[in-house]
Structure 1
């Protein structure tokens, strides 16, 4: 284990390397008091094989209770067809329940920086073409989570990594500590996430759903990519933050749809993917 990469309410994350092959990893320490809930693993899951030392058969874990973050990352990693690094969510490599804390070991894309830092390096805002490249990948990633019944709940620039060692920047999703497994149509009345990105419906009625909330958060991320200022839902609703008039019409329409105050008026993730701006 090496230097600390970040920390927050859920735990602390450190850089590290696997001793066997020096593969870069991220090591997350989560105090027992910060484990919000546990999930019972059930159903049929195929063998998890990531091409590394970790091989878990979820069938053998059937009926056992795991921290939700571990259960979700197991599920997402199991859905990958081949090796670590083949989809947007970072892969789970191993975990250790020590009683007083949970340690989660994940892949660590290198070189990569979070989207918040990436935006700063681009002088506070991105060119439309660059923002489109990132948003296309984010929408695909969000659809993948939705298909797996996963609600991230905290999509924001700090939880989006950009792999910078490629000609085209590649998006990776991190920090599933506030995520949950959901059924279609489920409503939530307890807020988990970052308050500044809370949906209008939660601000007004203390209720939110997975799909419309994810679309809102994607809109907030896109706003920050383009406007050289942080997004805060309550300021946006009070018209203290406005969508720039200098954006092209298709982009402006896409952003306005994501940031519709009425969740029923927001498009689905599939509809977003088909929007003219992303073509």
Structure 2
């Protein structure tokens, strides 16, 4: 069992970045821009410097110089590189033969997303381009090869929900391509749909309590299902929640698993990935956080922003500069206050939230 004094992070052992490891302070001013940690700085990397050393040319028994041998080896390497390049070109050609890419939908710390459609049947898709230097976390697949955690998680979700495109709360991964310096993920694109931030803006900056309840009930069920599958999204917020608007009842879809990870039993995380404005209080006080309590805190943040015409900030909330509307129903206030309990052990579990009277 990992304790706060352990040096190594039990939840993020495969993550390259260690830039967010130092303890945050609630007194420091947080930028207003809603950025994720991955937006602020990529992983710090170092490369070994190999100094050039002149070496005496020595002939072997066959009279071949080491320089000649090295040239021969480079010729073989060049051939391998040509084969790899051909494979990458083939992957890119395969993508272009199947999909048409259109206008950009958005951009975050892990890549840019474009609208598009599948040529075969004009099925709408979202096309996400992820530079490999922004793949912050990796996991070993069955063959031992390192794979982007985002791809691994979406493959797991797709495998467990085979044939259910458009049914599961997380949007489905349809196909993915590795084309050298970047990954291309082809994802389901619900139409018509807008993210929760835009949905709220279209409704006059805040949602009526009854509409917020419909969204929160679906969202809690969705993240509980992820937790049951040992998946921690880590960045549930308005921009990562799509609202399908094609029917009278808004439907919740979850997007952007770029900062997500697989959860081991009692995993404790000491590297913060997510939106700094929404950092759970325990990160400030203990420099660590867990999946369940953090996700419950995010439920509170989402609900707070849905019902209030302002962005949430953990620092401002802890400083009592943000307050919960008194005109909300007693049940809604109780749900919100429970989610935003500053001590993580005192927050309800996701299962307890599902049974909360306000959602029933």
TM-score, structure 2 length as denominator? 0.71
Counterparts of 2:175 and 2:163, CA distance in 1: 17
SS at match of 1:17: strand
Equivalence map 1:254-269=2 (5 Å): 254-269=335-350
Give distance in 1, aligned partners of 2:180 and 2:219.
35
Deviation, structure 1 residue 63: 3.9
Larger radius of gyration: 2
Larger deviation: 150-159 or 33-42? 33-42
1:132 aligns with one of 213, 236, 239: 213
* TM-score scaled by length of structure 1: 0.91
Select the residue among 129, 132, 145 that pairs with 1:29: 129
SS at match of 1:93: strand
Residue aligned with 1:104, SS: strand
Q: How does 1:76-225 map to 2 (within 5 A)?
A: 76-80=157-161, 82-225=163-306
- The aligned residue for residue 112 of structure 2 is 12
Is the partner of 1:2 in helix, strand or coil?
strand
Matches within 5 A, 1:237-276: 237-276=318-357
Q: Tell me how large the CA RMSD over aligned residues is.
A: 0.9
The number of equivalent residue pairs is 260
In 1, Cα distance between the equivalents of 2:326 and 2:141? Answer: 49
Distance 2:261 2:252 in 1: 21
| d(CA) in 2 for partners of 1:79, 1:197 | 30
Alpha-carbon offset, residue 40 of structure 1: 1.8
Moved over 3 A (4+): none
**Most deviating of 24-33 and 75-84:** 75-84
Question: Aligned residue for 1:233?
Answer: 314
Paired residue secondary structure (2:258)? coil
Determine the C-alpha separation between the residues in 2 that align with 1:111 and 1:130: 18
Q: 2:138 — aligned with what?
A: 38
Secondary structure at 1:247 match in 2: coil
SS at match of 2:102: coil
Tell me, what secondary structure is at the counterpart of 1:155? coil
How far did 1:64 drift?
3.6
1:155-213: CA deviations, max 9, x gaps? 00000000000110000000000000011210000010110011000122210000000
Q: Tell me the distance in 1 between the aligned counterparts of 2:351 and 2:192.
A: 30
Distance in 2, Cα, partners of 1:63 & 1:136 = 39
Q: Which has the higher strand share?
A: 1
Structure 2 gaps of 5+ residues are 1-100
Query: Which one of 73, 82, 88 corresponds to residue 154 of structure 2?
Result: 73
